[in-house]
Amino acid sequence: MIIQNSTNIIKFVLDDKIVELNLSNHPQLKPTTTILNYLRSLPNHKGVKEGCAEGDCGACTVVLGELNENNKISYKSVTSCIVFLPVIHGKQLITVENIAQIKDGKTILHPIQQAIIETNGSQCGYCTPGIIMSLFTLYKNFNNPSLEIVEDALTGNLCRCTGYKPVIDAASKACTKNGIDHFTEKEPEIIKLLESINSNKQAISIVSKYQKYFRPLTLKQALILKEKYPSAILINGASDIAIKQTKNKEFLTEIIDISSIDELKYFSEDNNYFYFGTGLILEKLKAISKNNLPPLYNILKIFGSLQIRNTATIGGNIGSASPISDLLPLLFTYKSMIKLKSSKNERTIKISEFIKGYRSTDIHTNEIITEVIIPKPQKGVIINSYKISKRKDLDISTVSAAFRIEFENNKIIKNIILAFGGMAETTKRATKTENFLLNKNWNMQNVEQAMNILYNEFEPISDARAEADSRKIACKNLLLKFWLDI
């Protein structure tokens, strides 16, 4: 084994039993086989569907149960079309076939299924299994959820038939039993199965003639692997990388999956800074930021979907260096820094210097992004972020923007940052517009002049999301919106 005491076998619970898969020798399955394609290969788990193969439609939604710090099972919905099989090692995999129960030869529907029937929440039925799984997660995690919580649980599920209203009604009708169901009865048994798998925690090494996949448990192991395999792709959720395979048909030959490293899943703070481990999933980051960094919370509310946020990480989002990132403009305005480590060195760099170009960064081949550092905004600093997209939820940005401003004597602009995504090959600041506004009054006349400068500062491309001129108009109008908002 490349990693000492590692294993090439993944184990998980499916249909209330432990499943073992040796992916080194399996003729059909690879470590980059998605959960969706694995389930579709089984005779009794065809309810999961492929609708888009990029995590956008929710037809493939399944639920993962995993032991939490209280030794209870936490339930999370994920889009199985972009999650690789080793991710479910040590977890319970729940599909739509598991939701009902068979008792005395009779099928007893889950309260969610029964509510969907009673509210006419299913029509053609193609998307229904995924909707059921999202609602099941809602059922297990919330009692009498608000409309906002229900809608958030369903943003990752597209449906052309129902108009969503009956589905929302079904959620409100069913989620009133404190999450009690037949899974509650079986939970002690499932906990024992998960404990038996996780009692001997091992890293995973799956090496075949054509592919190498490593899932280390410690940062030290990961850094040794990155030294040995400098061209290996790092994944920490793979919501972006998996699409290279599912949509672009790329074959990923070397992968280091750092999503099991607990050392990277932390949050801390001191008097001056917030510190985020890059393994934090975005849904946890959203919860942390609600009181600490409200603009970050607001943008994460409309970031992808709950299924995506349950797997995607802040480190992966930064590492992708997407020019249309929702988070990067805001991290620019927060004057964020990132920490990079290799097996021999450690360095801290401003995020604005880390992003070099189109999906290009200043990361060395032997380095891993380990931490995001955000200085606590001082009193008087105003920060806000915006996103323009064709849909409010679960959509890629046409233009994203984040602004930071500080005043002197309440009106004179002391400091200003205007950062944009979707306007160039990478996240960029509008420095000409910033320089014009600096030391001027924050009034309508100056903002209007700044808008004209901003309109001509970028040369965006035209693509499927917008024409170049539409982006330029949106860009300057967001500055006006910021002025109106404050």
Q: Which is it for strands 9-14 and 346-350: parallel, antiparallel or unpaired?
A: unpaired
Residue 1: is its pLDDT beyond 60?
no
Q: Would you say how long the chain is, in residues?
A: 486
**Angstrom distance (rounded) from CA 471 to CA 486:** 23
Cα–Cα nearest to 302, from 397, 236, 419, 163: 397
Query: Which of 246-250, 314-318, 345-349, 448-452 has the weakest average pLDDT?
Result: 246-250
| pLDDT tens profile 106-139 | 999 999 999 999 999 999 999 999 999 999 999 9
In this prediction, residue 27 carries a pLDDT of 78
pLDDT band at 104 (very low <50, low <70, confident <90, very high): confident
Answering whether pTM is above 0.85, one says yes
pLDDT at 105: 87
The average pLDDT across 453-458 equals: 97
Summarize pLDDT for 350-375 with one digit per residue, the tens.
999 999 999 999 999 999 999 999 99
User: Lowest-pLDDT range, 235-239, 297-301, 424-428?
Assistant: 235-239
Q: What is the pLDDT of residue 332?
A: 98
Model pLDDT, residue 25: 79
Contact 320, 347 (CB under 8 A): no
Q: Per-residue pLDDT tens for 315-325?
A: 999 999 999 99
| Average pLDDT, rounded, for the chain | 95
Rounded distance between C-alpha atoms, residue 480 and residue 443, angstroms: 11
Q: What is the SS3 string spanning the chain?
A: CCCCCCECEEEEEECCEEEEEECCCCCCCCCCCEHHHHHHCCCCCCCCCCCCCCCCCCCCEEEEEEECCCCCEEEEEEEHHHCEHHHHCCCEEECHHHCCEEECCEEECCHHHHHHHHCCCCCCCCCHHHHHHHHHHHHHHCCCCCHHHHHHHHCCCCCCCCCCHHHHHHHHHHCCCCCCCHHHHHHHHHHHHHHHHHCCCCCEEEECCCCEEEECCCHHHHHHHHHHCCCCEEECCCCCHHHHHHCCCCCCCEEEECCCCHHHCCEEECCCEEEEECCCEHHHHHHHHHHHCHHHHHHHCCCCCHHHHCCCEHHHHHHHCCCCCCCHHHHHHCCCEEEEECCCCEEEEEHHHHEEECCEECCCCCCEEEEEEEECCCCCCEEEEEEECCCCCCCCCCEEEEEEEEEECCCEEEEEEEEEECCCCCCEECHHHHHHHCCCECCHHHHHHHHHHHHHHCCCCCCCCCCHHHHHHHHHHHHHHHHHHC
**pLDDT at 462 (0 to 100):** 95
pLDDT for the residue numbered 238 = 84
Domains of the chain in start order, with CATH, are 9-98+184-257 (3.10.20.30), 111-180 (1.10.150.120), 265-485 (3.30.390.50)
User: Contact at 8 Å (CB) between 390 and 382?
Assistant: no
